[in-house]
Amino acid sequence: MPEPTTSSPAPLRDSLRRMKDLRRWIAAILAASCLLAVGPTGCAGDPTPQTFASGVAPDLDAADKPPDVPRRPNIVILFTDDQQAATVDRGVLRQVRTPNIDRLSGRGVSMRSAYVMGGPHGAVCMPSRAMLLTGMHHFRLPRGITWTWSAPPAERGRHDGPTLPSLLRDAGYETFFTGKWHNGRPFFAANFEGGDAIFFGGMSDHDAVPVHEFDPTGRYEASNATRPDTHSSELFTDAALEFLRDRDGERPFLLMVSYTAPHDPRTSPKPFASMYPPEEVALPANFMSAHPFPIGDLDVRDERLAPLPRTPEVVREHIADYHGIVTHLDAQIGRMLDELDDRGFADDTVVILVGDNGLALGQHGLLGKQNIYEHSSRVPMIVAGPGVPAGETRDGLCYVHDLFPTVLEWCGVPVADNVDARSLVPMLSPGAEEIRPTLLLGYSTGAMLDTPDGPRPKGVLRGVRSGGWKLIESWCEGVRTTRLFDLESDPWELQDLSELPALADRLAALRVELARLMREAGDPIDPAIFAIDASS
Ligand SMILES: [Ca+2]
């Protein structure tokens, strides 16, 4: 069994820190020279595509020479909703067909251990999106954008900190958004200077999504929404293609297409809806009729989509519908890639496909994303663009919101020191350095219990990925459960190893690391609820 990596050796850490500082310093020079050269509206210059994946300029004396700033890349983020990482994994187990996503992965790097950190309530999408936009762990963000309905009305959709779109806009980028926005109208208005077919909410009938045109006042009155008779994935793609067709190449752009597929209702048009006969769907190896122990809060909307106990027939139908809407989404992504190719954007555009969270769909007796098993925490992440190796994969751990400093680094925008996310650039470079030796996962129920110590989530899950290992600690209305998995031999998370005496030391080390990561992340939960000494 592989050794878990709990920390980098000190010399390596120091070296990584120096390289990070160097990259930040050079990025600051690039940004400053760009503004001096052409002002805040754009950064023209040598149109030769640069190899910006390294993030390191070839000459440290660049600041003393005339500006020779390569054109900054356009950024296209295709953000999907409830898409399992398994739908894009290459391997014999994958049943769903995604030829266009495969085309994208053939051009770039597929991150096979990309995770969403989790969230404090059932709508895991919401903190996930807030983290991507800010580069901050959700524990340090206001409820107004991570848990809107629990915040006072005046604070809903309010966050004054820098965001990916606002930083790029301030650096001269044109910013455009279409699709699902789940973090409040004011937050949208503070972020994007353009958009179309904007849907404010968490989910919708895909064939009647209430959408807004861009509203310069930022109010987005509900009465101004229309419900076009077009499937959401096609509607948002149409808006994105229209944006691309209007670009004259003068300003670099950020285009964010935030699909609400494959979130349920899992409907798709013909022929996709009947593309996967349920009787031909293979059940996942970890299919169960019910979850084997109390966990989280099973009385959430996602888990009510099918009765308990789950049956193979019902789960096959859910998976078949899910695969249909995924393949339909893939076709729309194909239209995006075609347009980028046809309009000559492919050479200077980074295209990122990333999911906001995964989904259980019958695994471990669950249907939703309100847990931290691999099916629900791991997400698709593919990064392609000039300078990024083509057709490669990475197994290093990372978060969705690590894209925040990554994109800024590529665009020559300095990243503030207090950002929680870490740039993926070292992972995407030929040396493929590790950026997160360990990684915290967590989910807390929005439903609260009154305890002598005050209100506490009804269920709390916290976990650590480290090397090939995964620890999950669960506290659910007083019932504590520990699970330890060796993902290399047990990717379906079926064999709990936490009781094995031979692994006692490893388990203890992972529990200590869990407490450390929780403290570091600003987690309000006390590790003592898992019987972990917080001072250890
Ligand atoms: Ca989602």
pLDDT exceeds cutoff 80 at 503 = yes
Task: Write the CA distances from 45 to 33, 76, 180, 337, integer angstroms.
Answer: 11, 21, 35, 26
Q: Look at the chain and report how many structural domains it folds into.
A: 2
CA of residue 79 to ligand 1 center, whole Å: 10
Predicted confidence (pLDDT) per residue in 343-375, tens digit? 999 889 999 999 999 999 999 999 999 999 999
Identify the three-state secondary structure at position 535.
coil
Identify the three-state secondary structure at position 275.
coil
DSSP secondary structure of 197-223:
EEEESS---TTS--BB---TTS---GG
Q: Where are the beta strands (DSSP E) in 52-117?
A: 74-80, 108-111, 114-115
CA of residue 355 to ligand 1 center, whole Å: 8
Pick 238 or 36 by higher pLDDT.
238
pLDDT exceeds cutoff 70 at 16 = no
Round to whole Å and give the CA distance between 76 and 74.
7
CATH number for position 450 = 3.30.1120.10
Instruction: Please report whether residue 283 resides in a domain.
Output: no
CA of residue 122 to ligand 1 center, whole Å: 10
pLDDT exceeds cutoff 50 at 82 = yes
Three-state SS for 412-455 is CCCCCCCCCCCCCHHHHCCCCCCCCCEEEEEEECCCEEEECCEE
Instruction: State residue 411's pLDDT score.
Output: 97
Residue 47: which pLDDT band, with cuts at 50, 70 and 90? Answer: very low
Instruction: State residue 432's pLDDT score.
Output: 83
CA 471 to chain centre: 21
Instruction: State residue 91's pLDDT score.
Output: 62
Residue type, position 188, single letter: F
Predicted confidence (pLDDT) per residue in 264-286, tens digit? 999 999 999 999 999 999 999 99
CA of residue 396 to ligand 1 center, whole Å: 23
Q: Where are the beta strands (DSSP E) in 34-191?
A: 74-80, 108-111, 114-115, 118-119, 174-181
CA of residue 451 to ligand 1 center, whole Å: 31
CA of residue 128 to ligand 1 center, whole Å: 8
Q: Which of 91-105, 405-419, 446-460 has the lowest mean pLDDT?
A: 91-105
CA of residue 392 to ligand 1 center, whole Å: 26
Instruction: State residue 42's pLDDT score.
Output: 32
107: closest CA among 441, 389, 504? 389
H or E stretch covering 470: strand 469-476
| pTM (two decimals) | 0.87
320: closest CA among 378, 262, 258? 262
Residue 28: which pLDDT band, with cuts at 50, 70 and 90? Answer: very low
CA of residue 401 to ligand 1 center, whole Å: 14
CA of residue 361 to ligand 1 center, whole Å: 13
CA of residue 255 to ligand 1 center, whole Å: 19
Pick 48 or 195 by higher pLDDT.
195
DSSP secondary structure of 15-50:
HHHHHHHHHHHHHHHHHHHHHHHH-TT------SPP
Predicted confidence (pLDDT) per residue in 184-219, tens digit? 999 999 999 999 999 999 999 999 999 999 999 999
Mean residue pLDDT of the chain comes to 88
CA of residue 137 to ligand 1 center, whole Å: 17
Round to whole Å and give the CA distance between 190 and 218.
8
CA of residue 66 to ligand 1 center, whole Å: 47
46, with CB counted inside 10 A (0-12, 13-18, 19+), is exposed
CA of residue 529 to ligand 1 center, whole Å: 28
Instruction: Please report whether residue 131 resides in a domain.
Output: no
Instruction: Please report whether residue 32 resides in a domain.
Output: yes
Whether residue 9 is preceded by a cis peptide bond, meaning omega within 30 degrees of 0, is no
Per-residue pLDDT averaged across 104-124, rounded? Answer: 97
Residue 10: which pLDDT band, with cuts at 50, 70 and 90? Answer: very low
CA of residue 100 to ligand 1 center, whole Å: 21
CA of residue 357 to ligand 1 center, whole Å: 5
CA of residue 146 to ligand 1 center, whole Å: 13
Round to whole Å and give the CA distance between 275 and 10.
53
CA of residue 259 to ligand 1 center, whole Å: 10
CA of residue 127 to ligand 1 center, whole Å: 10
Q: What percent of the chain has pLDDT over 90?
A: 82
CA of residue 261 to ligand 1 center, whole Å: 9
CA of residue 531 to ligand 1 center, whole Å: 31
CA of residue 129 to ligand 1 center, whole Å: 9
pLDDT exceeds cutoff 60 at 410 = yes
Predicted confidence (pLDDT) per residue in 447-487, tens digit? 999 988 889 999 999 999 999 999 999 999 999 999 999 99
Ligand 1 ion local residues (Cβ < 5 A): 81-82, 125, 356-357
CA of residue 525 to ligand 1 center, whole Å: 24
Instruction: Please report whether residue 522 resides in a domain.
Output: yes
CA of residue 527 to ligand 1 center, whole Å: 27
Per-residue pLDDT averaged across 169-177, rounded? Answer: 97
Instruction: Please report whether residue 466 resides in a domain.
Output: yes
Contact 450, 210 (CB under 8 A): no
CA of residue 263 to ligand 1 center, whole Å: 7
Contact 260, 199 (CB under 8 A): yes
CA of residue 63 to ligand 1 center, whole Å: 44
Whether residue 153 is preceded by a cis peptide bond, meaning omega within 30 degrees of 0, is no
Round to whole Å and give the CA distance between 532 and 17.
30
CA of residue 482 to ligand 1 center, whole Å: 26
CA of residue 508 to ligand 1 center, whole Å: 33
Which structural domain range is residue 523 located in? 438-530
Instruction: State residue 403's pLDDT score.
Output: 98
Residue type, position 384, single letter: A
Instruction: State residue 63's pLDDT score.
Output: 43
Instruction: Please report whether residue 201 resides in a domain.
Output: no
Tokens representing 445 are 């129920």
Q: Select, from the ranges 34-43, 57-66, 213-222, the one with the highest average predicted confidence (pLDDT).
A: 213-222
Instruction: State residue 46's pLDDT score.
Output: 32
Tokens representing 106 are 């053939």
Number of helical (H) and strand (E) elements in the chain, helices listed first: 12, 17
CA of residue 523 to ligand 1 center, whole Å: 22
Instruction: Please report whether residue 235 resides in a domain.
Output: no
Predicted confidence (pLDDT) per residue in 220-272, tens digit? 999 999 999 999 999 999 999 999 999 988 899 999 999 999 999 999 999 99
Q: Dihedral angle at the C-alpha atoms of 480, 485, 487, 491, nearest 10 degrees?
A: -70
Instruction: Please report whether residue 79 resides in a domain.
Output: no
Tokens representing 93 are 């187990």
